[in-house]
Amino acid sequence: MYGGVTRGAQVTGVAVCSLSLTWISTVLRFYVRVSILKFVGREDWLTIAAMIVFTVFCSLCLLAEFYGLGAHMVNIDDGFKAIGFKIIFICELLYVVSTTVTKLSISAYFLRLSIKRYQKIVIYTTLSVVLVFSTMYFGFLLFQCAPISYLWTKYESGQGKCLRSPILASVTYAHCAMSALTDWSFGILPIFFVWKMQMTPRTKLSVILVLSLGFFASTATIVRIVYIKALTETDDYSWEGINLVKWSMVEPAIAITAMNIATLRPMFKNFFHFASKKFDGSIDENEGRASDDSQKRFRGHSNSVNANDYSVEFAQLLGLSRVGVTTLITAGGSDAERNQMRKRFTLRRGSAMREKSDSESQTELNPVPTLGDEIDWSGGIKATTVVTQSRQ
């Protein structure tokens, strides 16, 4: 649909690579959730939504190449310019939606991992900033011309007006700055997740690195700022805009891929199970030692942390082990209340025994009585202590 030289092949290469990385990582993510964790949460459905929007976005960028994206403006017929800029307009809106939904998914995942009130406050604050700025930017892009269609009909003698390029660039700078800051926020937050947890430095570092990969998405955001400035200094939009389009695909691709990799630690644990098993075997050889040595081994397990440091869900999502002591305390009351409490504790005991069958060892002191046992409630408060040691 155009003549002369073109740089459109660059769009094809970036789009294919971006879609390949994001879809492969998404498939692996759902393999972990469905096959290993047996769990699919709201953050996973948000990831699917982000992938759908991102796929449509990349597909339209490829279609825009067909109508002249990457070629010089003088070499493109006016009718094809109108179609091409209409497609680019839709791509601009989809870019905002894609990055916003991706950050929503990251926020939902971090909320599931967070165990402290201040962590949730940081996540909700960051998410609020993302939603406010993204909504404003989406509206700005949507109504940058009056009427909206003048953005592409001006190449076919349409009537209307658009905002000047410096104004459009300034608003885009603000959105890019917000995007980079929120990426840094999500990149730094995992440090506080594990900073005070009782785990080995190697395990702590691996968790931080896996969860902070989204930080690299900010690099694409910063690069976009450079090309936005270049676009305000030229009228050859289809030729100079190629760089902005490429980095607009790279940014959400990095964010989505990093977000998916952050959920793959349980799979990595399975891949390195042989090495972990060998390590555990060296520990098992010394199980006959004195109790002091056993306690040292209990505290020094390479992938174990104190069970009081974080939730079971946190451990499962990141493929970590929980070790520690849990005490359940019950007291008297009505017959209905006592029966309800005994049922609850019995269910917990059954769940613990199922975990034991998955290569986890467990010792119980004062085991929880079953429903059929005779219980002397006149003795007052009853305590059940469970010592749990999980191995990988």
Range of the domain at 319: 292-390
> Within 13 Å and on the Cβ side, how many CA atoms surround 59?
6
> Within 13 Å and on the Cβ side, how many CA atoms surround 262?
29
Q: Are residues 317 and 383 in the same domain?
A: yes
SS3 at position 92: helix
Query: pTM for the full model?
Result: 0.72
Judge whether 2 lies within some domain.
no
Q: Are residues 181 and 320 in the same domain?
A: no
pLDDT category at 366 given cuts 50, 70, 90 is: very low
Q: Are residues 106 and 183 in the same domain?
A: yes
CATH number at residue 81: 1.20.1070
Judge whether 281 lies within some domain.
no
Judge whether 248 lies within some domain.
yes
Judge whether 39 lies within some domain.
yes
pLDDT tens per residue, range 38-87: 888 899 999 999 999 999 999 999 999 999 888 988 888 888 888 999 99
Domain boundary among 263, 284, 319: 263
Q: Percentage of residues in the chain with pLDDT exceeding 70?
A: 67
Q: Are residues 331 and 380 in the same domain?
A: yes
d(CA 355, CA 345): 15
Q: Are residues 225 and 354 in the same domain?
A: no
Domains held by the chain: number = 2
d(CA 59, CA 11): 10
**Strand pairing report for 321-330 and 304-306:** parallel
Q: Are residues 69 and 184 in the same domain?
A: yes
Q: Are residues 242 and 165 in the same domain?
A: yes
Q: Are residues 254 and 301 in the same domain?
A: no
Judge whether 241 lies within some domain.
yes
Q: Are residues 250 and 362 in the same domain?
A: no
d(CA 315, CA 320): 5
Phi/psi for 77 (5° steps) reads: -65, 145
Q: Are residues 356 and 218 in the same domain?
A: no
Q: Are residues 32 and 160 in the same domain?
A: yes
Q: Are residues 216 and 300 in the same domain?
A: no
pLDDT tens per residue, range 241-293: 899 999 999 999 999 998 898 888 788 766 555 444 544 444 444 444 434 44
Output the average pLDDT for the chain: 76
pLDDT tens per residue, range 291-326: 444 444 434 444 444 445 555 666 666 666 544 444
Whether the predicted pLDDT of 102 surpasses 90: yes
**Averaged over 139-151, what is the pLDDT?**
91
At residue 331, the pLDDT reads: 53
Q: Percentage of residues in the chain with pLDDT exceeding 90?
A: 28
